[in-house]
Amino acid sequence: MCGIAGLFLKDQSLAPELGGLLSGMLEALSDRGPDSAGFAVYGDGDAGQIKLTLRAAQSFDFAELMASLGKVAGAPIAYQVHDTHAVISLPVDREATIAAALVGNKDVDMVARGKRMAVFKEVGLPADVAKRFGLNTMSGTHAVGHTRMATESAVTTNGAHPFTTGTDQCLVHNGSLSNHNDVRRELIRLGMTFRTENDSEVAAGYISSQMAAGASLQDAMTSSLSALDGFYTFVIGTETGFGVLRDPIACKPAVMAETDRWVAFGTEYRALVDLPGIDTAKVWEPEPAKVYLWERH
Amino acid sequence: MPTVDLASSPLRELNGALHRLTPSTNATHWTVTNPRGQHNIAVGLDFPVEIEIDGHVGYYCAGMNKQARVTVRGNAGQGVAENMMSGRVHVTGDASQAAGASGNGGLLVIDGNASARCGISMKGIDIVVKGSVGHLSAFMAQAGKLVVLGDAGEALGDSIYEAQLFVRGTVTSLGADCIEKPLNDEHKVELKKLLDEAGVEGVRPDEFKRYGSARKLYHFHIDNVGSY
């Protein structure tokens, strides 16, 4: 099972509605993935700034942490708390200092880094997870979400999707990979680190390693067709891109829709029914082993 | 002429009402609005009723159909008309995977494309797809006819039994034990009848190629043991 929802806006006047629309899409996929849910939102980005997504336990006092980080950095830290997550926005030249201050802090994990991307995920029903993080209020250009029914690894926050293994890069996966241990070993040899035993994190890592070596998202997705074995539908986000790929036998369901204003992915059509203009949208099933990619310019 | 709005009325009520129809009913033509991709719409019918569904449907629409004529004005999710016994199901848009799976009888017409495994394990259903079909269509197909006006994907008719396949366009590849066969006059007559029933105009039976079983796999033969 598992459910994927993805939305890429062509018409930026919809940007304030991005989170609300994705929230509805995820809730529609609850029965495909009631264990956990998560999403990556590509919001505003300022030149020279970087966003770090931090995660901590439920009762964690982010204000206190930010005060101490502010002292280390010599300036107040701009941040927003979303339940168990906080998103810090800071100048790139101050990042190393902050990252160093967070090393060794057992209460806080830095779970995502991006100029525009922030990643939120938790155990629980998709609607509850979306509400806890205030997904409704988030705006942006594109977003990728997932509802998980765990098969390959435990129901934990780390095992929830999206997986991010590179700056502004995230991946969600419906399916199961059969050669992930091999690929993980190979990627570790190349210097990558992994948080989980999860197969989907390996897929994310593979895409990131290809792109770090200079491949375009298109090329990285194409080469994953031969490098990754198993069942998959992937939806992948980068700072400007939104990609979709299904395995060559199209084991997992997928529906796409497109209008002049947006492109959307849903594991089932039910996820798309409340999008504006869906009644006149082009609706189709993406073909197996074909790279679909949209880029903002 | 009942109209059921699935945005406000539960699907189980609709299916229950359709299951309770008796020969004395006047409600022989139903319209269903706002299907919104729900699964299992109009499944298990066993009554000669006409049903029109306005919009895209989810999985297994009109599954196990007997006698009823169901029209989907939109796309259909996986397994539309699966296990159909008789009647007619018409999808005006595209159909997802496994359309007409295991169908025993009746006619399934898809105006658009059908994706992978169309007619998988078909057992007597006739399927007419006006667009193209995806990979592994008619996999283990036992009886009935699959007619494709467009193209067929990889491994058409893999491990086929006695179903007959007619494809007008290209076939990416044939599956194990599926071969091209001559299109004789008797096949053209049957094909013409089916095209007429499906409302296909301007297409001649001799534009198609016929495919079927080489009959080398489905009786056990020790020389073929590697192919089973």
Contacts of A283 in chain B (CB under 8 A): 56, 75, 93-94
Interface of B to A at Cβ within 8 Å reads 36-38, 55-56, 58-59, 75, 77-78, 93-94, 96-97, 115-116, 134-136
Domain identity same for A97 and A69: yes
Together in a domain, A164 and A209: yes
CATH of the domain at A197: 3.60.20.10
d(CA A120, CA B5): 36
Q: Do B96 and A253 touch (CB under 8 A)?
A: yes
Give the Cβ contact number of residue A200 at 10 Å. Answer: 28
Cβ of residue A249 closer than 8 Å to a chain B Cβ? yes
The pairing of strands B69-73 and B88-91 is parallel
Are A208 and A168 in a shared domain?
yes
Per-residue confidence (pLDDT) for residue B218, from 0 to 100: 78
The residue type at B131: G
Contacts of A279 in chain B (CB under 8 A): 55
Cross-chain CB nearest to A253 (options B56, B78, B136): B78
CATH code of the domain in which B190 resides:
2.160.20.60
Residue B59 in tokens: 């999985």
Q: What is the mean pLDDT of each run of 10 residues along chain A (297 residues)?
A: 96 98 97 96 93 95 95 92 96 93 92 97 96 98 95 85 97 96 97 93 98 97 98 97 96 96 97 96 96 94
Measure in Å the smallest separation between the Cα of A270 and chain B Cα atoms: 5
Q: What is the pLDDT of residue B217?
A: 85
Interchain contact, B135 vs A268, CB within 8 Å? no
Among B115, B117, B132, most A C-beta atoms within 10 A, so best to mutate, is B115
- Could you give phi then psi for residue A271, rounded to 5 degrees? -70, -15
| Nearest residue to A264 (alpha-carbon basis) of A278, A250, A252, A251 | A278
Residue A288 with chain B: CB contacts under 8 Å? 116, 134-135
DSSP B176: T
pLDDT at A49: 95
Query: pLDDT band for position B1 (50/70/90)?
Result: confident
Give me the pLDDT at residue B221, please.
79
* Whether residue A159 sits in one domain with residue A208: yes
Q: Are residues A39 and A176 in the same domain?
A: yes
User: Considering just the CA atoms, what is the radius of gyration of chain A in Å?
Assistant: 18
Verify that A111 and A135 share a domain, yes or no. Answer: no
How far, in Å, are A147, A167, A247 from residue A199 at the CA level?
Answer: 16, 20, 15
Q: Do A285 and B135 touch (CB under 8 A)?
A: no
Please give the residue range of the domain that contains residue B106: 3-227
The residue count of chain A comes to: 297
Contact yes or no for A181/A198 (Cβ under 8 A): no
Split into its structural domains, chain A has a count of: 2
Domain count, chain B: 1
Is residue B220 over pLDDT 80? no
Report the gap between the CA of A9 and the closest CA in chain B (Å). 22
At A104 the pLDDT is 84
CATH of the domain at A95: 3.30.70.330
> Does the distance separating the beta carbons of B37 and A273 come in below 8 Å?
yes
CA atoms of A243 and A241, how far apart (whole Å) = 6
Contact (Cβ atoms closer than 8 angstroms) between residue B209 and residue B166: yes
Q: Which of A48-62, B63-77, B128-142, B213-227 has the lowest mean pLDDT?
A: B213-227
Assess A286–B contact: CB distance below 8 Å, yes or no. Answer: no
For residues A65 and A210, membership in a common domain is answered with no
Looking at residue B24, its amino acid is S
Residue pair A216/A207 in contact (Cβ under 8 Å)? The answer is no
Alpha helices in A111-266 (DSSP H): 126-133, 180-189, 199-212, 217-227
More confident residue, B221 or B228: B221
Q: Is the peptide bond before A162 cis (omega within 30 degrees of 0)?
A: yes
Look at the block and give the residue holding tokens 């039994």. Answer: B161
- A263 plus A127 within the same structural domain: yes
Of B144, B52, B47, nearest in space to B99 by CA: B144
Report the pLDDT value the prediction gives residue B122, as an integer from 0 to 100. 98
Q: How close A268 comes to chain B (CA, Å)? A: 7
Residues of A designated as active site: 2
Q: Which residues pair with B91 in a beta bridge?
A: B72, B110
The reply to whether A133 and A207 lie within a common domain is yes
Q: What residues contact A22, with CB distance under 8 A and at least 6 apart?
A: A5, A7, A39, A41, A130, A135, A143, A145
* Set of chain B residues whose Cβ sits within 8 Å of the Cβ of A287: 115, 134
Under an 8 A CB cutoff, do A250 and B116 touch?
yes
User: Residue A269 and residue B135: Cβ atoms within 8 Å?
Assistant: no
Q: What is the extent of the structural domain holding A228?
A: 3-44+119-295
Are B136 and A283 in contact (CB < 8 Å)?
no
**A37 and A96 housed in the same domain:** no
- Tokens 């509805």 identify what position? A24
B194: pLDDT confidence band, cut at 50, 70 and 90? very high
Q: Do A269 and B75 touch (CB under 8 A)?
A: yes
Q: Which of A115, A148, A168 is the last residue of a domain?
A: A115
Mean pLDDT value across chain B: 96
A231 touches chain B (CB under 8 A): no
* Listed residues A99, A115, A131: the one ending a domain: A115
- Please give the structure tokens belonging to residue A263: 């492109």
Among residues B40, B115, B46, which one has the least CA distance to residue B82? Answer: B40
B36, B75, B78 ranked by CB distance to A283: nearest: B75
Return the pLDDT at B228. Answer: 67
pLDDT score of B204: 97
Please list every residue in chain A whose beta carbon sits closer than 8 Å to the beta carbon of residue B37: 268-273
Instruction: Tell me: do A22 and A52 sit in the same domain.
Output: no
* Residues A152 and A13 grouped into a single domain: yes
Find, among B137, B170, B141, B169, the residue nearest to B156 by Cα.
B137
Last residue in a domain, options A65, A86, A115: A115
Q: Which of A157-171, B46-60, B166-180, B210-224 has the lowest mean pLDDT?
A: B210-224
pLDDT at res. B219:
77
**Residue A269, min C-alpha distance to chain B (Å):** 5
| Entry pTM | 0.93
